[in-house]
Amino acid sequence: MSAGGMYGSSMPQGGARGSGWGHRLGNALKTTVLLAGLTALLLVVGERLGGPQGLVVAGFFVVVMNFGSYWFSDRIALAMHGAQPLEYAEAPWLHQMVERLAARAGMPKPKLYLLPTRTPNAFATGRNPEHAAVAVTAGLVDILDQRELEGVLAHELAHVKNRDTLIGTVAATLAGVISYAAQMLFWFGGSLLGRGDDDEEGGPGHALGNLGVLLVAPIAATLLQLAVSRSREYGADATGAELCGDPDALADALLKLERGAELMPYDRAPATSHLFIVNPLSGGAIMGLFSTHPPIPERVRRLREMAGPRSTRGWRSAWA
């Protein structure tokens, strides 16, 4: 492991100031809008699928999913990727690095997990800082040096501190269900829950309405998710850079991770791709428009600007 051994940081204290109450309030408002929008979409799909009965069933699922996502979001995300607990004895230097960053952020140390994949990446999950977990891939620890790895871990702890992890899992769950319900609408046309062609709302107009929901619902769910997910990444980059005290380290890491994802795409549980620090899925320019992550060059540019005169490189030079 290239990051093995102890790492002493000279990071300045108080680097977490970027995640103050103003940021948290803005994040809370965005997540409320996201949940309301995704919930409304699911209710619409339920109504189109089965009329009043479908609306009731959809409402029930919304309550169950929100409850389950709140209490078990960390377990769900970790299980989907086959993550295993990383014991202290296996990587004491990594645990100590997280302990230092967590202390600087004023939060408990999250649990550490390892994903058995060579693709370099990482994500955080959990409903709050007291019930959080950070998962790193085997490839991440191999490809990054000590300062870059600390930058990535600081980014993930920033997500926890900024309360991003809960909404990310809830949004993924609701968006996935909306897409699945839209597919059911396509195959069953509203007959699954008793609505047939003889109903008052049946006929060509009803069929066209179903088709519209089928086309719009998954796209709208994705766009609502992207609206919050992209801004969350910028916020976590800024807070993480302040936590580790080295914006260039995180910028360098992002460039390496982007290249790693291009060479070794990781497509397990695509619905959770927005949880990772870089998009684990491969895609061209068109797919980039629907990426849950902002462009890496823009993220790197902002981090280089944060470094200011301390930065010894331009943001483009790290591509070489």
Interval 85-136: pLDDT, tens: 999 999 999 999 999 999 999 999 999 999 999 999 999 998 889 999 999 9
Give me the pLDDT at residue 316, please.
39
Over residues 262-303, the pLDDT tens digits come to: 999 998 877 778 889 998 986 544 445 456 688 999 999 999
Task: Say how far apart CA 30 and CA 44 lie, in whole Å.
Answer: 21
Tokens of 189: 């046309």
Establish how many alpha carbons lie within 13 A of residue 184's alpha carbon, considering only the half-sphere containing its beta carbon. Answer: 19
Write the DSSP string, 125-175.
Answer: EESSGGGEEEEEEHHHHHHS-HHHHHHHHHHHHHHHHTTHHHHHHHHHHHH
Tokens of 198: 């003889």
Q: Containing H/E element for 111?
A: strand 111-115
Give me the pLDDT at residue 183, please.
66
Give me the pLDDT at residue 14, please.
40
Give me the pLDDT at residue 193, please.
44
Look up tokens 């549980």; give the residue. Answer: 269
**Catalytic-residue membership of 258:** no
Give me the pLDDT at residue 172, please.
64
Low-confidence ranges of the chain (pLDDT < 50): 2-19, 191-199, 284-287, 289, 314-320
In three-state secondary structure terms, 112 is strand
End-to-end CA distance of the chain: 23
Catalytic residue among 148, 156, 233, 258: 156
List all residues 6 or more positions away from 168 whose beta carbon is below 8 Å from its beta carbon. 125, 159, 229, 232, 274, 275
Give me the pLDDT at residue 305, please.
94
pTM recorded for the entire structure: 0.75
User: What distances in angstroms separate CA 263 from CA 107, 137, 139, 303, one per listed residue?
Assistant: 35, 15, 12, 24
Give me the pLDDT at residue 260, please.
94
Give me the pLDDT at residue 31, please.
66
Nearest to 65 by CA among 163, 192, 172, 162: 172
Give me the pLDDT at residue 290, please.
53
Give me the pLDDT at residue 206, please.
53
Task: Say how far apart CA 160 and CA 110 lie, in whole Å.
Answer: 9
Task: Say how far apart CA 4 and CA 25 lie, in whole Å.
Answer: 38
Report residue 224 CA to chain centroid gap.
Answer: 13
Give me the pLDDT at residue 192, please.
47
